[in-house]
Chain A
Amino acid sequence: DIQMTQSPSTLSASVGDRVTITCRASQSIAYWLAWYQQKPGKAPKLLIYEASSLQSGVPSRFSGSGSGTEFTLTISSLQPDDLTTYYCQQYHSYPITFGQGTRLEIK
């Protein structure tokens, strides 16, 4: 199974900050990586697919990069609505696996 490791687990930041979350795969997944945002009590929302493609309707302050085993999600200017939890997911091979999550909190 491919293990996905996110860092950090918790990130404290201020509104307006540039924020970066990292996701590492235990083996190469090419660009088969997605990022999701999940707010408390709600279903996850797809932000990024194929490592760097922005899902329709997602604000352009979100961007993704990387390939192989190392990936990043960047929020260019953090907004209050962004303070929640983010997950990476690999869909290169079964079983599909998620990172453990990164919680963004206010500094």
Chain B
Amino acid sequence: EVQLVESGGGLVQPGGSLRLSCAASGFIFSSYWMSWVRQAPGKGLEWVANIKQDGSEKKYVDSVEGRFTISRDNAKNSLYLQMNSLRAEDTAVYYCARYPVSGPIDYWGQGTLVTVSS
């Protein structure tokens, strides 16, 4: 059974940093692109970033480019999102998701809430 479990969310001040983690199990992690998708409270879904199987390619939405970094450790079956220079508008539930080679996202974690507020 595919399982994706996020952790690392919490309350952070504007300008601060946070690192999200996602533990994957139930599939061959190193064979899949992986994604982060977020959802602001009461709002729709926004794709944030994708990373290739070996980490050699990374894609970002413009609003986080230069502030967020997606990475992975295939030996630990783990995905990460380093978030720097956080803004109030980054407040959202962040989902880790599996992205097959030709897409689309087919499995999602339960999400972790990030709140950016003073």
Interface, chain A (partner B; CB < 8 A): 1, 32, 34, 36, 38, 42-46, 49, 55, 87, 89, 91, 94-101
**B95 and A43: CB pair below 8 A?**
yes
* A-B pairs under 8 A by CB, number: 56
User: Across chains A and B, which 10 residue pairs bring their CB atoms closest together, nearest first?
Assistant: A43-B108, A91-B103, A34-B104, A96-B47, A98-B45, A91-B104, A101-B44, A95-B61, A94-B59, A100-B44
Using A89-B47, A96-B104 as known contacts, list a sample of 5 further A-B pairs with CB atoms less than 8 Å apart, ordered by residue number in A.
A34-B105, A44-B45, A46-B104, A46-B106, A49-B104
Q: Is there contact, CB below 8 Å, between B106 and A98?
A: no
Chain A contacts for B108, CB-based, 8 A = 43-45
Q: Are A43 and B104 in contact (CB under 8 A)?
A: no
Q: Does B1 contact A (CB under 8 A)?
A: no
Interface size range of chain B in the complex: 20 to 34
Contacts of A94 in B (CB 8 A): 50, 59
Confirm or deny: B54 has a beta carbon within 8 angstroms of a beta carbon on chain A.
no
Known: A49-B104, A94-B59. A43 touches B110 (CB 8 A): yes
Which of B59, B103, B111 is within 8 Å of A43, CB to CB?
Answer: B111
B50 partner residues in chain A, CB cutoff 8 A? 94, 96
Q: Which residues of B contact A34 (CB under 8 A)?
A: 103-105
